Structure 1
Amino acid sequence: MGLLMPKDTLAIVKEWHESFDVPVVDAPSIPKERAQMRLTILEEEVGELRAAVEVGDLIEVLDALCDIQYVLDGTFLEFGLHGVKQDAMEEVHASNMSKLGADGRPVLREDGKVLKGPDFRQPDLARILKR
């Protein structure tokens, strides 16, 4: 008997969407009737993460991060972008890796945020959507 592969987060959330009659869209688009609701829910979940961090509650931090991922994957499903998520993430990753400085080290802002180095290139997400 073979090992069962764990479901990725998109598959888990798709199961929930289908069980609760929440849209799963096949073609990429911005659903005008639900987009604002999706944005509001994401903002609420980020607010819960902020509150959990501020009080130092690691359990609530984990809960908020999982909720953010759940809602984010649901947004990929409702915007019909789940089919390109992996390719888009790989493209954004390659772009982010191009942020290294000329010396091969990260270029950092005072607060630690990584900045764009001299060889930075924008991700070509239009190419991903055309496929």
Structure 2
Amino acid sequence: MPERADDERPGPSDAGPVSRIADQVAAFHRAYGLPVRDRPVDALEVGEMALRQALMDEEVGELREAALAGDLIEVADALADIVYIAYGTAHVYGIDLDAVLDEVHDSNMTKLGPDGRVLRRADGKVLKGPDYRPPDVARALGLDEV
């Protein structure tokens, strides 16, 4: 079981509101002895990261199978598991994923072209317009103050 002293976040961050899912996944991690770090760490132990990656790969595979089978229930289940694992991985790294998502959303909203139109690639992907601002993830993580 991981060391718990400086590694555990007692509740929602003082930096701002934490989503219900972030709290739920933190509760799961605590109940099962998984890390919930309150400060970002640059790297995980090899085994810890391998587990997080394997969990995500497994769920993405399940999503692919469900989508190909046209099984909406299993698509929804796989998507929920992917989000759950993403939040869990964020807790393991000590990342406030809600803050990062807010920053990425704000950045994504700057992709519009100057005329307010969406620029798209042939396959439908939204492209970056001339006023695009990349996300300041370091700021979202509170690492720009260090």
Give the TM interval when normalised to the shorter protein. 0.7 to 0.9
Deviation at 1:128, TM superposition (A): 2.3
Structure-2 separation of matches of 1:15 and 1:87: 19
Instruction: Give the one of 101, 120, 124 matched to 2:136.
Output: 124
**Counterpart check, 1:50 vs 2:53:** no
Q: How many aligned positions are there?
A: 123
Amino acid aligned to 1:45: E
Amino acid aligned to 2:109: M
Report the counterpart of residue 21 of structure 2 in structure 1. 9
| Bigger helix fraction | 1
Structure-2 separation of matches of 1:11 and 1:101: 37
**Counterpart check, 1:31 vs 2:44:** yes
Deviation at 1:14, TM superposition (A): 1.0
Amino acid aligned to 1:105: R
Deviation at 1:86, TM superposition (A): 2.4
Provide Cα deviations, 1:56-87, integer angstroms capped at 9, x if missing partner. 000100110111011111001101113xx222
Report the counterpart of residue 107 of structure 1 in structure 2. 119
Structure-2 separation of matches of 1:26 and 1:127: 16
How does the TM-score come out when normalised to structure 1?
Answer: 0.87
Structure-1 separation of matches of 2:104 and 2:137: 8
Alignment of 1:62-81 (within 5 A): 62-81=76-95
Provide Cα deviations, 1:5-57, integer angstroms capped at 9, x if missing partner. xx711111111111111111222112123112111211111111011000100
**Gap runs ≥5 in structure 2:** 1-18
**Gap runs ≥5 in structure 1:** 1-6
Partner of 1:64, secondary structure, is helix
Partner of 2:111, secondary structure, is coil
